[in-house]
Structure 1
Amino acid sequence: MLRVALVLLLVAGCAAPGRSAPVRLAYTVTGEGPVVVLLHGHPQTAASWRAVAPALAERHRVVVVDQRGQGDSPAPDGDYDVSSRADDVAALLRELGVTRASVVGTDLGGQVAFALTRDNPGLVERLAVLEAVIPGTAAAAGPLSAPHIARHADVDRMVERTRGREAQHVRDFVCAARNPCPYPPDLIAESAAALRRPGHLRGAFAPYEELTAPSDDPGRVTVPVLAVGGSRGIGGLPAASLREVADDVTEVVLPGATHWLAEEEPAALVAALGPFLAGSR
């Protein structure tokens, strides 16, 4: 795959009030057909989709993104709120000439995918949210009260605590649900290397600050939604959360799967995504 960096020309006033201006994002594009955008979560990079993207690219033009402050994308000093991160992706799609796309987001990337859909009517035609809940919904209360949410939201402390221990942080986080850990070791190394780049520890933890603040009305989306959970992850909670903010929600729970669907259960995930993205589910 060819990795390219998109440089956005920014002008004063281009950001919406209360949001950071869009930043240039690193991304890959493979395949031909209807556009599908893949958005990773914490503590991942675009590489987390490596077992999923090629299968989707057999029928789609797949855009895999490193979000701001993660992977090969820069770590700006600005905000890391979900709307600003969604604006980054919207700006990327405009520069690519994309006017319609399906979006798949996992973990924190699922919340970005929802915000992108909500804030850009007509841009997103199908939304898939994996192992994520939408802040401001009743179903999100349990997952967002998990101890690691508040711990990660103490950004300065987490940056200091994790610096020099990046690989240990990633390993502890992705291996918590299973022993032995099935998460690919080279992806752990990839994520740890990304965290060592200047500003990237802050970029990894800053999105959690918003999750501990009082939630605004999350808004609604009108497109078809696929909500996927792992039976050993958060199960049916993605669907429960999304049913509060969307009318057309299809629920899938992958048996035996933990939080890390793309890395540990790629074949099952592709089997769920394929019919949905094709419009047959």
Structure 2
Amino acid sequence: MNILSRILRRLAPQLGAVLIGVVAVQAHAVPSAVQARTVNAAGLQFHTLQAGSGPETPVVLLHGYTQTSHMWLPLIPRLADNRVVIAPDLPGAGASSIPASGFDKKTLAQDIHAMVQALGYRKVKLVGHDIGLMVAYAYAAQYPDEVESIVLMDAFLPGVGDWQKVWLSHDRWHFHFYGETPLKLVQGRERIYFEHFWNDFAADKTHSVPETDRRFYAAAYGKPGRMAAGFEYFRAFAKDAEDFSAFARTPLPMPMLVLTGEKASGTFLIDQARLAASNVNGVVIKGSGHWIMEEAPEQTMSELIRFLNAPARTAD
């Protein structure tokens, strides 16, 4: 798909929702070291949180479903002492544009890549949680020479190994919950729907995503078009599986860290990653569920900082 056609494909973003989303983001205090910036690329507007400067390779942080770039605020200043750190809202989420199509992770990765290029960077380090890890993997698979290292955080890779064990699991019914009726059911009840994720996927629902963040995310996804866009991330899983199955035939060569919650994906994502990459270090966060940044913040951030600060190295 050429650049012009990609831009034309995305001429229907709901700009009103974008502007409303910006107001919602600004309603929450952001550390002074972190700046909110808009980046135009691939016919989209990306809302980003950015900080730092220095000679080290920039880090791109990609959030998952029910969250936005807001989830990375505790981590961004701790990484930004000698590099640029960029945390975008994914297309469709937060205050970024809502594209008319292209919610498969291969296309979303192309969009994030265009954003990185628009900022003037070629080589980056990637970190992705949940849906964000799928976008990170698709980015690394398509642009392996431009990714110095990658972190995948607790979810799964469609199309890799025994992936349908997760996709068809009865307690993952939300993967198939999209369309007109589901949208009507959750309209005005976004918080109720998201409680399923924040409570049921945590090791302890009283020690999961904090209340202030729950209100923030429910409001962000409650804006026009946001829930519909979020559902499209799931609708695209079948296409993602086709793409990822093809990607996995060429294992990623760069160092990969996989962080998972003991009470969530456990070793499943680590096992998948070893089918798709040749230099994998897997760490299970003991006692944690899916929300490892919130349930075990110090251990999770320490692992991330240690890995991202390590000198560049090649596959064994």
Pick aligned residue for 1:133 from 156, 163, 184: 156
Asked if structure 2 preserves the Cα contact closer than 8 Å seen for 1:139 and 1:240, the reply is no
In 2, Cα distance between equivalents of 1:112 and 1:75: 16
RMSD: 1.9
Q: Is residue 2:186 matched to residue 1:165?
A: no
Asked if structure 1 preserves the Cα contact closer than 8 Å seen for 2:40 and 2:115, the reply is no
Identify the residue that residue 36 of structure 2 maps to in structure 1.
3
Identify the residue that residue 83 of structure 2 maps to in structure 1.
60
Q: Is residue 2:136 matched to residue 1:113?
A: yes
> What is the Cα deviation at residue 141 of structure 1?
2.8
The amino acid that maps onto 1:68 is P
> What is the Cα deviation at residue 213 of structure 1?
5.6
Asked if structure 2 preserves the Cα contact closer than 8 Å seen for 1:37 and 1:104, the reply is yes
Pick aligned residue for 1:147 from 158, 170, 188: 170
Identify the residue that residue 40 of structure 1 maps to in structure 2.
63
Asked if structure 2 preserves the Cα contact closer than 8 Å seen for 1:218 and 1:245, the reply is no
TM-score normalised by structure 2 residue count: 0.80
The amino acid that maps onto 1:196 is G
The amino acid that maps onto 1:170 is F
**Structure 1 stretches of 5 or more lacking a match?**
11-22
The amino acid that maps onto 1:256 is G
Q: 5 Å matches for 1:68-87? A: 68-87=91-110
Q: 2:254 is paired with a residue of what secondary structure?
A: coil
TM-score normalised by structure 1 residue count: 0.89
In 1, Cα distance between equivalents of 2:170 and 2:69: 26
The amino acid that maps onto 2:50 is V
Q: Is residue 2:49 matched to residue 1:28?
A: yes
The amino acid that maps onto 1:210 is A
> What is the Cα deviation at residue 214 of structure 1?
8.3
Q: 5 Å matches for 1:92-241? A: 92-147=115-170, 149-156=172-179, 157-176=181-200, 177=202, 178-212=204-238, 215-216=241-242, 217-219=245-247, 220-241=251-272
> What is the Cα deviation at residue 170 of structure 1?
1.7
Asked if structure 2 preserves the Cα contact closer than 8 Å seen for 1:76 and 1:199, the reply is no
Pick aligned residue for 2:303 from 255, 272, 276: 272
> What is the Cα deviation at residue 79 of structure 1?
2.3
**Structure 2 stretches of 5 or more lacking a match?**
1-33
Q: Is residue 2:116 matched to residue 1:88?
A: no
> What is the Cα deviation at residue 72 of structure 1?
0.8
Deviations 1:75-105 (A, max 9, x none): 1221211111111110110010111110000
Over the matched positions of the two proteins, sequence identity in percent amounts to: 26
> What is the Cα deviation at residue 212 of structure 1?
4.4
Asked if structure 2 preserves the Cα contact closer than 8 Å seen for 1:36 and 1:60, the reply is yes
Identify the residue that residue 262 of structure 1 maps to in structure 2.
293
Q: 1:206 is paired with a residue of what secondary structure?
A: helix
